[in-house]
Amino acid sequence: MHPSHSAAAPLTFLDAYHAGALGDAFALAPGDVAAALEVPRAVDRVALVAALRQRHDAWGMLGVAEPSLRKLAHPEARVVVAGQQIGWLLGPTFVLSKAVTAIALARRLDSAERPVVPVFWMATQDHDVEEMDHAWLLGRDERLTRLTLPMPRGPAVGRARLDPAVVARTASALRSLDGAGPHAADVEALLCAACQGSKTWTDGFAKLLLALLGEAGLVMVDPLDPGIARLWRRALERELDDPGASAAVVNAAGARLAERGWQPLLGRGDDASNLFVEPPGGGSRTLLRHRAGALYLHGERVESATLRAYLDTDPTSVTPAAGLRPVLQDLLLPTAAFVVGPGELRYLAQLRPVYQAHGVPMPLVWPRATVTLLQPPVRRILARHELGWRAVQADPQRVACELQLRRHGYADAAASALASVEREFDALLRSTAVLDPTLEGAVQRGRHHLERTVMTLREKTGRALVRQDSEVQRQFQRLRAHLRPNGGLQERVLSPFSFFLTLGVAAVRDAFLTIEPEGDQALTF
């Protein structure tokens, strides 16, 4: 293949999943919603709905959630579940993408005979504070600001108290970023209403998402709710009885992925279990380890009876690691489909044997929709230069260079030079084939060298043209600020509060509720 031709993009794990190329890592074929709905789901609906009703009532959101909770009580009801850590200001915007994917897919599958309810699972048991203690916001001046907030290290993040002073500082920072724009009052009202009376970060996050999406049918689950946690106690005790079993099958599944050329994301040490322990009354969340049939915390031996006593005192004191968490989720819920991001998809590719060990049917795995918001400044620049947003988001520098090469005629000149190289070397090859066929390799090497030289000059020329055009530089700086903030994808960096400030809470929410539950989509404003 000549350098003038673009190489095919390597197959991603998501591509391999959609193509059905991952063997038996998943229980159901990609997209097979009919089969997913038919899988029997033996869950304790009465206890589940009672616990969820009590929790939503405590949040002051029972009125919003009640229609979905009544549907969930139906003996044939199923759920579409998505989840994420409870980041401040909802975390990155893809949290909304996940939640709305679940809503859209549930709406597509819902019927009177088999109601389907969208559920959001808050990862409150997590203790990776660095992923949750900040929010990135793009102000009206298109400068990126990181709001970092104090959160205790050690305990599960869902136990963190919500300090009213933090809420006040955040509201002040949002006003400063917005410059008292037309949506400032609505944004502050949303934040303050969600945090009013909220004791924990969990409460604030749940009430925010319910305020936005509760009327669309979304139900929230907090696994640190004792009423929820006690429903999977038997599964935790099964893990305590044989603490290395599920970790071993996770590693074995990872080895099978590696044989297919995929690096596994989950790996458990030889002495690692799939459980964390957080003793009642406080303390750090610590991985439970095992050696020679004994259990250890912080290097000290602990008896299984002690851990069971912990569960008697506090059902949330023993929590699952990543190699067990989805299984407990789907043991609790009548899950038809699990909406996931790229990382979760790779985790789940190692968990089918854990589902089997616990007798829990693995649900359909549904890659979430990806959403990019195109605000008026972005749309104007794209339209002016007839650019596609996907290409700019993928590689803004390359697109800027190509734009300048076309505008100044260098793209045609480079194409002409490459065509000339092709013609001249084709003629040379014909001549050498007659004289001495063994010279073909030398001629081909010369051809490739000249083609690489032309392409290198083309690239350097494009970069030089961009540097010399201050207007194009400014426009692409704006595009990068919106589409590739901090060099990352927009939805993986910016908090949705950035868009609430510039576009309005209702406008952003209503636009998200129009998305399809799959694919790469843009919302234009």
- Tokens (6 digits) for 505: 């809470």
Check whether residue 380 and residue 340 sit in a common domain. Answer: no
Which stretch of DSSP H or E encloses residue 272?
A: strand 272-277
Does a structural domain hold residue 252? no
In the chain, the largest separation of any two C-alpha atoms, in whole Å, equals 90
Q: Is 270 helix (H, G, I), strand (E, B) or coil?
A: coil
- Tokens (6 digits) for 399: 């697109």
Domain count, the chain: 2
Task: Give the CB-side neighbour count of residue 62, counting CA atoms within 13 A.
Answer: 10
Does a structural domain hold residue 84? yes
Check whether residue 442 and residue 336 sit in a common domain. Answer: no
Check whether residue 348 and residue 481 sit in a common domain. Answer: no
- 9 band by pLDDT with thresholds 50, 70 and 90: low
| Domain end point (choices 372, 400, 430) | 372
Check whether residue 337 and residue 404 sit in a common domain. Answer: no
Higher pLDDT, 216 or 462: 216
Instruction: Identify the weakest region by mean pLDDT among 7-11, 209-213, 249-253, 269-273.
Output: 7-11
Does a structural domain hold residue 353? yes
- Tell me, what CATH number does 53's domain have? 3.40.50
Q: In this predicted structure, what is the pLDDT of residue 34?
A: 97
Averaged pLDDT, 79-86: 96
Check whether residue 346 and residue 426 sit in a common domain. Answer: no
Domain containing 475 equals 373-488
Phi, psi values for residue 521, rounded to 5°: -130, 155
Check whether residue 387 and residue 463 sit in a common domain. Answer: yes
| Domain end point (choices 372, 392, 410) | 372
Q: What is the rounded distance in angstroms from the CA atom of residue 329 to the CA atom of residue 349?
A: 16
| Positive or negative torsion for Cα 472, 478, 480, 482 | negative
Cα 391 to its chain centre, rounded Å, is 21
Does a structural domain hold residue 254? no
Q: What is the rounded distance in angstroms from the CA atom of residue 21 to the CA atom of residue 109?
A: 26
Check whether residue 185 and residue 50 sit in a common domain. Answer: yes
Q: Report the predicted TM-score, pTM, of the whole model to 2 decimal places.
A: 0.91
Name the amino acid, one letter, at 184.
Answer: A
Does a structural domain hold residue 428? yes
What is the percentage of the chain residues whose pLDDT exceeds 70?
97
Does a structural domain hold residue 317? no
Residues 31, 33, 37, CA angle at the centre, nearest 5°? 155
Asked if 505 and 166 count as a contact pair (C-beta separation under 8 A), the reply is no
- 517 band by pLDDT with thresholds 50, 70 and 90: very high
Check whether 72 has a pLDDT greater than 50.
yes
Q: In this predicted structure, what is the pLDDT of residue 33?
A: 98
Check whether residue 347 and residue 469 sit in a common domain. Answer: no
Check whether residue 414 and residue 354 sit in a common domain. Answer: no
Check whether residue 357 and residue 432 sit in a common domain. Answer: no
Residue 228 CA: distances (Å) to CA of 46, 238, 378, 415, 502: 12, 18, 45, 64, 38
- 482 band by pLDDT with thresholds 50, 70 and 90: very high
